[in-house]
Structure 1
Amino acid sequence: MTQYVCTAAAMRAAEQKLFDAHPGTDLMAVAAGQVAAQARGMLADLGCGVRGGSVLVLVGGGNNGGDGLLAAAELADEGCHVRVCPVLGTPHAAGWQVALRAGCEVVTMEQAGQVVPDLVIDAVLGIGGRPGIPDDLARLGEQLSAASWLAVDLPSGLDANSGAVTTSLRADVTVTFAARKWCHVAPPAAERCGRVDVVDIGVEPGGSDGVPKCADGWTSVVDEDDLARLWPVPDPGDDKYSRGVVGMDTGSSQYPGAALLGTLGALRTGAGMVRYVGPRRPADLVLAAMPSVVLADGRVQAWVVGSGWGQDDPAANGRRLQQRCVDGVPMVIDADALSLLPAELPDGCLLTPHAGELARMLGVDRDEVRENPRESAAEAARRFGATVLLKGAIQWMADPNGHVVEPTPSEILDVADHPGAGQMPAGQAGCAAALPGPAWTGQAGSGDVLAGVCGTLLAAGVSAGWAGLLGASLQALTACRHPGPWSPDQLAGFFPEIIGACRRPSFP
């Protein structure tokens, strides 16, 4: 993965590392040049261009305002009509002088609201700002809502470290530096950022040792290129067994649909064979809908368990789980099985809780998980000795062994077969997030489908961390490509199309 999301503190540390290595670096000038370049592009898209366009730059104190002032000067030098409006504190002194020398017009907030420009550049608060903005700035944002908006680093008022929303400005485009921050990817804040463009200013991701680690505030995020590179594709010599046999012990008479959905997810994503061994009623439904499913126990490369078991008979469910653990193969453990985890799990297990289930597993309040999803997933991974995919608006993967970092295609395979593949330094938990998707997927049954998809990947030899990330990212990408209220089974019907577009088989 080459895409990262970081905390504000992690970005400041990375900037300091650059300053220490190159004391003469003028990051503000570099950043301002990128802001001006974005503004040129937006003015061109509006049809007015730089010389015919009008720009209002809202500037706060500090470096974010300095970026905006230098960008304002650059645009004014090129013939743009630029007004600058000081907001919240004393403007950056050097940047202010540069903007005045370039001929920028200074206006008050009251004057700024009287004329709607082509483009507003929001350079008020940066990643170090506190959440929220004053009422007068919020009113100005409403008055100028007809203009196009470009935010520097983030729309003022958002918290760089979360998806929480208070009073804030909005942007059509946000230009940020080196890496996305959490407000850019986590809803609902992400919706206020518009299109987010990450630009290079010479800052390298990572802590003091140069390695981007969860502990230092850096998280890898799967993108479409990862799916294209890493989704397993059969070789000419593969057959149904070598492609991977998935065992499904899911569903119940009360929840037969979970068995259908999970099995569909497995079949639609390339399983060589699916064995279903659950209760009779869901078994009959599965076979009627998918005649290629085998209703017989036998050797498998991965199990999917827990989806749709129900909670009426915990003792029976516990025996059901233990029976599958005896096989010693990787498992996707979902839903009702998550509250029945034995002291020791087979190697390569993937736990797939949502926030409520993870809260019960950790013995904490659900709100704590929602407020600290990454930390909660990492704690569960450490506590249970298994990889955790926390489902939600942002889907977090935490691997206590740290097996997720910039893999080559061969390195997604299980580390039992490829020792040391893709590992972070010892003791560092791997932490990553799946490709974000639309909220349409947040419905009953989506998790059942996802469990089956992850089972297919585990059976193909993909490590638990990558099985979770790739499976969740496929579901998100499919929903992005086919927007709207598709049911989970309908959306799964598009999986072959999306996988086929991403990967071409290695045979004609």
Structure 2
Amino acid sequence: MRTAYCVETVRSAERELMARLRDGALMQRAAAGLGAACAELLGRVYGSRVVLLVGSGDNGGDCLYAGARLARRGAGVTAVLLAPDRTHAGGLAALRRAGGGVARPGTAEAVIERADLVVDGIVGIGGKGGLRPDAAALAEAAERARAAVVAVDLPSGVDADTGEVHGAAVRADLTVTFGTHKPGLLIDPAREYAGSVRLVDIGLGPELPAEAELEALQHADVAALLPVPGSESDKYRRGVVGIAAGSARYPGAAVLAVSGALRGGAGAVRYVGPAGDAVISRFPETLVSDKGPRKAGRVQAWVVGPGAGDDAATVAEVLAEDVPVLIDADGLRLADRDTVRARTAPTLMTPHAGEAAALLGVAREEVEGARLASVRELAGRYAATVLLKGSTTLVADSAGGPVRVNATGTSWLATAGSGDVLSGLAGSLLAAGLSAVDAGSAAAYLHGLAGRFAADGAPVGAHDVAEAIPRAWRDVRD
């Protein structure tokens, strides 16, 4: 599992570690890792042209010491100093001893245009807001140049704690981060600015608290969550998921939600709604009823809302059930907030940015620009677990534990019906006994992976994603 910690936590851990190390040792560890990553990216260090964008903080020091290491290996290294009177003195002296130089005033952009590699050490993890005009001009020059861009700890101009980007920021090909990931490296929109992320171990791990601010599951973590039937299992012991979805106008939503549920580990799927004929013709193993949720038979979890239109009565009936409930699509609009908050069984809500914006009463752009704050706010308002869909999916619960982030998906998943498949898959995992956070996290991981397998770089339909879930499941388990 990858974990991420906020700036305050990281700085506290750094202080604890530095108290036991000789002066400057931590910066040298960071510079060694940064220099090695830059050398690997360059391939051939000798004769390459490297430009360092150096601010006044410790990131600038890391940048200068790493530049000195590259200069000793034969690179031509030039530092652009944004605050000459506050530049890290030891780092600048090391660079000059190694044969590196400082760009003359007025030549910075021309130097960047000739570079093979630009290293961004403008602002550290404590930076807030976009870049100032002088720094923004350098970031723009780096983006125009053919050089590769490496960010030190995180791209300058992005918010380390939230992943928000307010104004100009550096766009990196590679971000070399130290000690632990920072939330902004894993959450869009900042994640798009980070490029590939390489974590350098500087010995910070023992100083960090056990509970992180952010968690990103990996194959082994998801494999440990997935239900596996035992020798005594039957369909009821494995869990039965109910799907209340679809309408005369949107029967396909019901079919797609059922398709995800059938591949999600539960022992059986019950469907209630007006699209029974469409569901049974596509999936004859489905248990279909037209008598409403209360008379559908035994279920361990419900999914309600995909393609439901204005059927508020069914949504209310499902929410009254004392089993886990997943609310998606039209169900989000129809669900009464007080009713959701009063539920004692787990509730998992799965909005995309537009639906989240409607629930919060803000513009969609506000949710997209502040995804972490938005998912936490929704979870608190509804006293529920919220899965905020998007290029990075976030899962937060109302108790305030670590937020889960998932980035296994592909932009090809932005297709009609994809969310219906995810709802069915997550609902099935709820019925199999997973908590709302684990069900949402594991479903998002599998769904994203299935999307990648199904698309393979080409357009894909929601039904293709559903059919690829078994492959994703096997890939994770194996």
Q: 1:350 to 1:205 in 2, by over 3 A?
A: farther
Q: Give the match for residue 173 of structure 1.
A: 174
Q: Give the match for residue 141 of structure 1.
A: 142
Could you tell me which amino acid in structure 2 is paired with residue 263 of structure 1? V
Q: SS at the partner of 1:122?
A: strand
Query: Which residue of 99, 107, 111 maps to 1:110?
Result: 107
- How far does residue 503 in structure 1 lie from its aligned partner after superposition? 1.0
Query: Which residue of 305, 319, 322 maps to 1:328?
Result: 322
Q: Give the match for residue 469 of structure 2.
A: 495
Q: SS at the partner of 2:170?
A: coil
2-structure distance, mates of 1:340, 1:168: 39
1-structure distance, mates of 2:352, 2:28: 44
Q: Give the match for residue 423 of structure 1.
A: none
2-structure distance, mates of 1:22, 1:111: 36
1:246·1:456 contact (CA, 8 Å) conserved in 2? yes
More moved, 371-380 vs 286-295: 371-380
- How far does residue 252 in structure 1 lie from its aligned partner after superposition? 1.0
Could you tell me which amino acid in structure 2 is paired with residue 73 of structure 1? A
Q: 1:256 to 1:19 in 2, by over 3 A?
A: same
Please state if 1:474 is matched with 2:470.
Answer: no
More moved, 242-251 vs 375-384: 375-384
Deviation string 1:346-370 (CA, Å, 9 cap, x unpaired) is 4122122233433444455555544
1:88·1:124 contact (CA, 8 Å) conserved in 2? no
Q: 1:26 to 1:237 in 2, by over 3 A?
A: same
- How far does residue 198 in structure 1 lie from its aligned partner after superposition? 1.4
- How far does residue 31 in structure 1 lie from its aligned partner after superposition? 0.8
2:188·2:371 contact (CA, 8 Å) conserved in 1? no
More moved, 291-300 vs 491-500: 291-300
Please state if 1:391 is matched with 2:389.
Answer: yes
1:227·1:502 contact (CA, 8 Å) conserved in 2? yes
Q: 1:364 to 1:20 in 2, by over 3 A?
A: farther
Q: SS at the partner of 2:63?
A: helix
Q: Give the match for residue 413 of structure 1.
A: none
- How far does residue 491 in structure 1 lie from its aligned partner after superposition? 1.5
Q: Give the match for residue 273 of structure 1.
A: 268
Q: Give the match for residue 120 of structure 1.
A: 118
Please state if 1:289 is matched with 2:282.
Answer: yes
- How far does residue 272 in structure 1 lie from its aligned partner after superposition? 1.8
1:304·1:455 contact (CA, 8 Å) conserved in 2? yes
Q: SS at the partner of 2:163?
A: coil
Q: 1:400 to 1:65 in 2, by over 3 A?
A: same
Q: Give the match for residue 424 of structure 2.
A: 452
- How far does residue 25 in structure 1 lie from its aligned partner after superposition? 6.3
1-structure distance, mates of 2:402, 2:115: 46
Trace 1:354-433 onto structure 2 (pairs within 5 A). 354-363=352-361, 366-401=364-399, 428-433=400-405
Query: Which residue of 442, 458, 462 maps to 1:484?
Result: 458
Trace 1:297-308 onto structure 2 (pairs within 5 A). 297-308=296-307
Could you tell me which amino acid in structure 2 is paired with residue 5 of structure 1? A
TM-score, normalized by length of structure 2? 0.87
Q: 1:241 to 1:483 in 2, by over 3 A?
A: farther
- How far does residue 113 in structure 1 lie from its aligned partner after superposition? 2.2
2-structure distance, mates of 1:111, 1:378: 42
Q: SS at the partner of 1:235?
A: coil
More moved, 74-83 vs 20-29: 20-29
1:223·1:435 contact (CA, 8 Å) conserved in 2? no
2-structure distance, mates of 1:298, 1:206: 52
1:377·1:388 contact (CA, 8 Å) conserved in 2? yes
Q: Give the match for residue 261 of structure 1.
A: 256
Superposition RMSD on alpha carbons, in Å? Answer: 2.7
2:418·2:465 contact (CA, 8 Å) conserved in 1? no
Trace 1:213-292 onto structure 2 (pairs within 5 A). 213=212, 218-279=213-274, 282-292=275-285
- How far does residue 174 in structure 1 lie from its aligned partner after superposition? 1.2
TM-score, normalized by length of structure 1? 0.82
1:382·1:400 contact (CA, 8 Å) conserved in 2? yes
- How far does residue 309 in structure 1 lie from its aligned partner after superposition? 1.1
Query: Which residue of 403, 418, 435 maps to 1:463?
Result: 435
2:240·2:270 contact (CA, 8 Å) conserved in 1? yes
1:275·1:294 contact (CA, 8 Å) conserved in 2? yes
- How far does residue 472 in structure 1 lie from its aligned partner after superposition? 1.2
2:155·2:170 contact (CA, 8 Å) conserved in 1? yes
Could you tell me which amino acid in structure 2 is paired with residue 219 of structure 1? L
More moved, 234-243 vs 107-116: 107-116
1-structure distance, mates of 2:11, 2:225: 32
Could you tell me which amino acid in structure 2 is paired with residue 116 of structure 1? R
- Which runs of 5 or more structure 1 residues have no equivalent in the other structure? 402-427
Q: SS at the partner of 2:203?
A: coil
Percent identity over the alignment is: 40
Aligned positions, number: 459
